[in-house]
């Protein structure tokens, strides 16, 4: 019972934070995608790191390590180190170019850099092909955790993830 109360309180807090953010934010693509270009480097680093830390990071990878042994721990260390290196060395250049030209995504940067509408389409399709399943599987991971915690059906946990997000 305490788990359900804790999840309800947590869900309400998240919903109130989202409602407040919606109320005070501008309704532009730049504000939605880049927080109006106002957050600092450290906050952005952790935001991106947490955004790519998916259900696989919390459920799949520990299970994989358990089955295959601790030698595979270097995979996650390498992934984080690679992300940090890209962020430190490529990030400042992308940030400067995007701020100067008001770009919203790396796809825009690369398409304009190489003056190729075809590249824009190819990169956009590649991102859709890989990001849509990646994002779509996240509610399932939350649903599985929700089920393990409360005993409720997996779909209840998936809805717990998706419904508040779509409510705003």
Separation CA 30–CA 141 (nearest Å): 29
Per-residue pLDDT of the chain (168 residues; tens, 9 = 90+): 788 898 889 888 988 888 888 888 778 888 777 777 787 778 877 877 777 778 878 788 888 888 988 888 888 888 888 888 888 888 888 888 988 998 988 899 999 999 999 999 999 999 999 988 888 888 998 899 889 988 999 999 898 888 766 655
Q: Which pLDDT does position 9 carry in this prediction?
A: 92
Domain boundaries, the chain: 31-104
Q: How many CA atoms lie within 13 A of 5 on its CB side?
A: 2
Separation CA 21–CA 18 (nearest Å): 5
The per-residue pLDDT for range 117-136, each reduced to its tens digit, is 999 999 999 999 998 888 88
The per-residue pLDDT for range 9-38, each reduced to its tens digit, is 988 898 888 888 888 877 888 877 777 778
Helix axes 117-150, 154-167, angle to 10 degrees: 130
Handedness of CA 24, 27, 30, 33 (dihedral sign): positive
């Amino acid at each position: 019972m305490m788990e359900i109360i804790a999840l309800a309180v947590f869900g309400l807090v998240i919903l109130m934070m989202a409602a407040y953010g919606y109320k005070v934010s501008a309704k532009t693509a730049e504000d939605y995608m880049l927080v109006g270009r106002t957050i600092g480097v450290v906050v952005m680093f952790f935001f991106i790191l947490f955004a790519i830390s998916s259900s696989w990071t919390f459920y799949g990878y520990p299970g994989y390590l358990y089955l295959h042994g601790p030698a595979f721990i270097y995979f996650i260390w390498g992934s984080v180190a690679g992300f940090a290196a890209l962020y430190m060395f490529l990030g400042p250049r992308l940030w400067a170019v995007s701020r100067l030209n008001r770009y919203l995504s790396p796809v825009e940067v690369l398409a304009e850099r190489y003056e190729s509408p075809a590249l824009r389409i190819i990169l956009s399709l590649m991102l859709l092909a890989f990001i849509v399943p990646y994002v779509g599987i996240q509610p399932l991971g939350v649903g599985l955790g929700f089920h393990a915690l409360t005993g409720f059906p997996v779909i209840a946990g998936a809805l717990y993830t998706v419904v508040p997000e779509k409510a705003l």
